[in-house]
Amino acid sequence: MDEVDRAVAVLRERVETAEKDLADLKAQLAQAEKQALDARRDNTSDGTLKGKWPLRPNEYDRYARQMILPNFGVEGQLRLKNSRVLIVGAGGLGCPAAAYLAGAGVGKMGIVDGDTVEESNLHRQIAHNTFRIGTTKAQSLYRYLHDLNPLPTYELFEEHLTPQNAERIVSKYDVVLDCTDNPATRYLISDICVLLGKVLVSASALRTDGQLIVLNCPPAPQGSKGGPCYRCVFPQPPPPTSILSCGEGGVLGPAVGAMGVLQAGEAIKVIVRGHHTPYQEGTSPPLDNYPPPSLLLFSTPLSGPPSLRSVRMRSRRTDCFACSATSSLIPESLSDGSVMDYVQFCGGVPSPESTLSPEERVSAAEYAARVHSVRKDHLLLDVREPEHFGIASIDGAVNIPLSELEQGPDVADDGNQITPEWLPPTLPDDAPIYVVCRVGNDSQVAARRLKAMGLDAGGTRFIGDIRGGMRAWKEEVDETMPFT
């Protein structure tokens, strides 16, 4: 396809998307006008409903199947209708969680997310679709929820949650769902929920596993007896180098979806039971009326049956940084960063343990032009996991995952250097070794590891990496190559 055909295809796609967006807006307008008409017809001047029925006729029809549940009833439905729930993260967790909360009839829902929809999201983030690629996730999720149930009020925050905006956003809501995927934001959400007296339903998922916990329930003031916060359970964050993203480790759509559904279920139970009501300073909630804190572990491995296990948790820690009596955390210190820098607390921006010098790195285009197609006496080592390598690789590359490189001794018991089995015996001693990974981080660590193993022959053999990894190879050399 030449450039003109490509431009036509792009414009045609944009027109189709615009037409669909216009149809969505017209449908939303029609529904809003109907709601306004119903409100004027059904409500008295003071905002109360006429007659003896506390819900509208269509609400009895819509929510009937849950209202007939034992211990739910009309009272539970009214609690949902009067509740305000904040969804932080409109991705794999947030989409199913928000869908079931909107379907259940939560009165007001807030959606916080500053990202846009990408094609790689669609296998698990079920509220988004192909036509909304490039749309903000908050806006895309809103359209899905409004089509599902136009009765709740929806508020969008097309931004990321930060220490500066957290109080402004979270203070408007009763229950918060942490549907994010990075430790710094998790600690921030927990801290602001402690400070503002909000119940937090937190979940995470990676690969085929997930975990769920209800935090700060009951939402008692700092120093009072109440439910543990995120810091009580995880006082210290994991090392940055141990954290896998979905892009690196992968995630099974149903696994993350199951955790989002469970989040919604826990939030509904908290609201229907009235457990989201904060306790005032100087009062102690009757803890016997609340379920004991527990961590739910879920797994649906590809090689075996699914499992669900609950682990009993302790209550609040007396030395907790956020919720103990000795805590110095207040809303002002959270917003100005004087007490906690969340990024630094979680180890800063994840980066390689050791970086290479510019002389030890080559661009993808340079490797393709000067080495790959010309010089045959070299070794290209791909240190991604086999699953990544099996999807797409550079011709001639040898796959040795970084996790395998980092294991084992460098020398034998007799003190002699160990020659790795993957090193071709015919490779000349001065033949260079190049390393490639997904985006150019692990390859630097691997190159350092190879030198520590003595494979640079005392500095006579070049060992370096391809800057930018397979992503750069796709951008600079072969745009047809799949990138995962």
Contact 124, 257 (CB under 8 A): yes
3-state secondary structure of 321: coil
229 is in an annotated binding site: yes
Cross-strand pairs, 49:
43
Alpha-carbon distance of 142 to 326, in angstroms, equals 41
Give me the DSSP letters along 15-54: HHHHHHHHHHHHHHHHHHHHHHHHHHHHB-TTSPBSSS-S
Q: 128 vs 247, which has greater pLDDT?
A: 128
Q: Which of 106, 117, 114, 189 is nearest to 154 (CA)?
A: 106
5 is in an annotated binding site: no
217 is in an annotated binding site: no
Q: What angle separates helix 253-273 from helix 94-104, to the nearest 10 degrees?
A: 40
346 is in an annotated binding site: no
46 is in an annotated binding site: no
What are 404's two structure tokens?
């395998």
323 is in an annotated binding site: yes
Contact 371, 378 (CB under 8 A): yes
What percent of the chain is predicted at pLDDT more than 70? 85
Alpha-carbon distance of 360 to 440, in angstroms, equals 12
179 is in an annotated binding site: no
Average pLDDT of the residues in 383-387:
89
193 is in an annotated binding site: no
**Which of 227-236, 249-258, 350-359, 419-428 bottoms out in mean pLDDT, i.e. has the lowest?**
350-359
Model pLDDT for residues 16-28, shown as the tens digit of each residue: 777 677 767 766 7
* H/E run at residue 354: none
The confidence score (pLDDT) of residue 63 equals 95
The confidence score (pLDDT) of residue 117 equals 94
Q: 437 vs 339, which has greater pLDDT?
A: 437
Alpha-carbon distance of 468 to 437, in angstroms, equals 8
Q: Which of 205, 199, 109 is nearest to 157 (CA)?
A: 109
Active site residues: 246, 437
Contact 82, 88 (CB under 8 A): no
Question: Does 229 have pLDDT greater than 90?
Answer: yes
The confidence score (pLDDT) of residue 350 equals 47
pLDDT band at 258, cuts 50/70/90? very high
Alpha-carbon distance of 98 to 100, in angstroms, equals 6
What are 273's two structure tokens?
């039971």
Model pLDDT for residues 274-298, shown as the tens digit of each residue: 888 776 655 556 666 778 888 999 9
Give 11's contacts (C-beta < 8 A, 6+ positions apart).
Answer: none
Outline where 314-441 has alpha helix (H): 331-336, 342-345, 364-366, 386-391, 402-405
Q: Cite the beta strand spans of 83-239 per DSSP E.
A: 84-88, 108-112, 153-157, 175-178, 199-206, 209-215
What are 287's two structure tokens?
């803890």
Outline where 307-433 has alpha helix (H): 331-336, 342-345, 364-366, 386-391, 402-405
Give 294's contacts (C-beta < 8 A, 6+ positions apart).
Answer: 213, 310, 311, 312, 313
Question: Does 262 have pLDDT greater than 70?
Answer: yes
Phi, psi angle pair for 355, to nearest 5°: -105, 150
Give 286's contacts (C-beta < 8 A, 6+ positions apart).
Answer: none
55 is in an annotated binding site: no
471 is in an annotated binding site: no
What is the identity of the amino acid at 23? A
Give 83's contacts (C-beta < 8 A, 6+ positions apart).
Answer: 106, 107, 108, 174, 175, 271, 276
Q: Are strands 463-467 and 361-363 parallel, antiparallel or unpaired?
A: parallel
Contact 186, 202 (CB under 8 A): yes
Maximum mean pLDDT: which of 148-157, 239-248, 425-434:
148-157
Model pLDDT for residues 83-132, shown as the tens digit of each residue: 999 999 999 999 999 999 999 999 999 999 999 999 989 999 999 999 99
The confidence score (pLDDT) of residue 249 equals 72
Average pLDDT of the residues in 140-145:
95
Question: Does 255 have pLDDT greater than 80?
Answer: yes
